[in-house]
Homo-oligomer: A and B are copies of this chain.
Amino acid sequence: MTTTSTSGTRPDDVRRHNRAALLRRLHVDGPSTRATLATALGLNRSTIKALVDGLAEDGVVEERVPAQRSGAGRPSLLVLPQPQAAVVLAIDIRVERAAMALVGIGGQILGRDSWRVRGSNEPREVFTKIMDYVGPLVAEQEVGPVAVGVSVPGVVRRADGFVHEAPNLHWKDVPLGAWLSHALKLPVHMGNDAELGALAEHLRGAARRADDVVYISAEVGVGGGVISNGRSLRGVGGHHIGEVGHMVVKPGGLPCYCGSRGCWETEVGERALCRALGIDEDSPVGAIVAELRALAAQGDQALERLDEFVEWLALGLGNVVNLLCPQLVVLGDLFTALPAPLVARIQETMRGRSLVSRALGGTDVVTSSLGSDAKLLGAAELAFETVLSDW
């Protein structure tokens, strides 16, 4: 433990700190008036003016008359972040597809690409494809990325992007972070996919107003990410918290990729959902979503086919809520397509099963608002964390 000391704080440090805070605020909350920024950051107007003027000179923000005028009198100028002023490369590696995007300040996707991974997900091959596609993507834009964020469905070492294990990709001990930073000559930040999904939903999606959130994502695997007190929650060595898919809920149940049996993802992952829907286990995501929509259109009775699936989902969510005590659970990825009446039933059943939810007057369950972009946007945010704080 060290004590804080004020003697070493110089005006330059304070100014840099305030500029980073202002930029972060614009990045997350979008265009704001100077007055809003002053209130939000607890700074006086002249300080805000100096900071905004400086950032405008550097081309990082612009001030404009708002399109919609409110009330009479001279309208307040809006401070707008300029997306191109800092661009990061976001990469989202999944079992089925990989996606890549250039994301500007404010979270705007400036350009994107994606390709099929299933069947060719050998680590070196995935890396080569990334390198093949990144050139053309960057060439399209007038500005190159200053940092890289990568989402991987596995256990990733934060410090250097070493992938310990990604069971559904059949990856083990893959130094992807080192390969990428060496090849791209950029800082590379890597995280677990669900952790990054949680981050994106918290900053830009369904969990914007909640500080204690669990995000659950389902594609082939089921993962979890936790926002605790407004921040990504991490365990030992900075590893992500919430490997919920490999929580055993059915001892002696189906074998799982991870080597265990009866893991939650064997009962609620993509394949289980296909089984419940009565379609082929390897159906592409589009077909599963279409089937869910068709079922929802047929009314509540048709949804009864998913009763057992709902039970397993609610059971696992009850465990998750008991262990992690969130105010909100966001169901992402494939779960985003779950029909509303089903989500309502999942919430109700979970509440009945969870002592913690009951004690706290009921945890909310909602679907993602970023859908399949959540992890890509989360990877961008991971890269932006350092970019904006070092501005």
Contact = CB atoms under 8 A, between A and B. Distances in A.
Given A18-B3, A42-B3, A235-B228, A155 B241 contact: no
Given A324-B323, A355-B246, A25 B1 contact: yes
A158 to B, nearest CB: 11
Contacts of A241: 228, 323-325
Interface in A209-240: 211-212, 224, 228-229, 233-237, 239-240
A312 to B, nearest CB: 8
Interface in A159-195: 164-165, 167
Contacts of A266: none
B360 A325 contact: no
Contacts of A372: none
Contacts of A24: 1
Interface residues of A, number: 65
A249 B249 contact: yes
Contacts of A40: 1
A101 B99 CA distance: 59
Contacts of A355: 155, 165, 167, 243, 246, 258-260
A17 B1 contact: no
A259 to B, nearest CB: 8
A286 interface: no
B353 A322 contact: no
A339 to B, nearest CB: 24
Contacts of A164: 359-360
A356 to B, nearest CB: 5
Contact of A1 (B41, B242, B356): B41
Contacts of A315: 248, 251
A268 interface: no
A319 B360 CA distance: 23
Contacts of A17: 3-4
A246 B325 CA distance: 12
Given A246-B322, A324-B235, A2 B42 contact: yes
A248 B249 contact: yes
A365 to B, nearest CB: 14
Nearest to A41: B3
Copies of this chain per assembly: 2
A354 interface: yes
Given A3-B41, A155-B359, A356-B155, A248 B318 contact: yes
Contacts of A323: 224, 241-244, 247, 320, 323-324
A224 B356 CA distance: 13
A250 interface: yes
A165 B43 contact: no
A4 B20 CA distance: 12
A370 interface: no
A46 interface: no
Contacts of A67: none
A149 interface: no
Contact of A325 (B165, B234, B327, B358): B234
Contacts of A244: 322-323
A50 to B, nearest CB: 14
Given A228-B233, A239-B325, 10 more contacts: A2-B41, A2-B42, A3-B42, A155-B355, A233-B233, A239-B360, A241-B325, A246-B356, A259-B355, A319-B319
